[in-house]
Structure formats: C-alpha cells, structure tokens
Amino acid sequence: MLTQLRAAATRPAGMDNSSVAAEAPVGKANFSDLLKSSLEQVNSAQQTSEKLGQSFAMGDDKVSLSDVMISMQKANISFQAAVQVRNKLVSAYHDIMNMQV
C-alpha cells in the first residue's frame, strides 16, 4: 500500500492513468495478494522496530536512539494505515450487506 502511494507521488503531475496503462501493460493484481503483502510489510516494520528497541536496551553501540524512535514511528504509522484500511473495508461490507435487493 505504501509502495503504491509512493509510486503515485513520484508520477509527474501531468500524467494521467490512461497514459500509464498505454505505455506499460500491468498484470492483473489480486486483491487478497495485495492485502496480504501490505500486512506482511506492516508486520515486518513492527518486528524491525522491536528488534532495534531490544538492541538499544541491551546497550548495542551500533543502534542510536533516533534510529529506534524513527523505526517505532514508521511501524506505528503503517499500523494505523492498516487499521484505517480495515475500517473502510468493514464499512463497505456493511453498506453492501444493508443494500436491498
């Protein structure tokens, strides 16, 4: 998810989605695979943050406090983004289930 946001941010402002699709055909993305990879990235960020925190607490000279804090903030932001995506999915599910047929 973050990778997609970064890719969209680096795209030139005048370029629209149709010109991107015409230049390089993109393979079909499976939603469940994208969601799984996003959750794995969040998990990885949290594990990295925890390892850095433990290393700093054990007195490792290679790990600075700023590295630990930055890592913790990155993990927190990615987790909060995942929670927001989950909330939107649950909301969309409820909206669909409440539709009258």
Q: How many angstroms separate the CA atoms of 33 and 36, rounded?
A: 5
Report the C-alpha gap between 35 and 98 in whole angstroms.
24
**87 band by pLDDT with thresholds 50, 70 and 90:** very high
CA 91 vs. chain centroid, Å, equals 19
pLDDT tens readout for residues 9-66: 676 655 555 444 455 556 787 888 999 999 999 999 999 999 999 999 999 999 999 9
The pLDDT assigned to 100 comes to: 86
- Predicted TM-score (pTM) of this structure: 0.66
What residue spans define the domains of the chain? 30-97
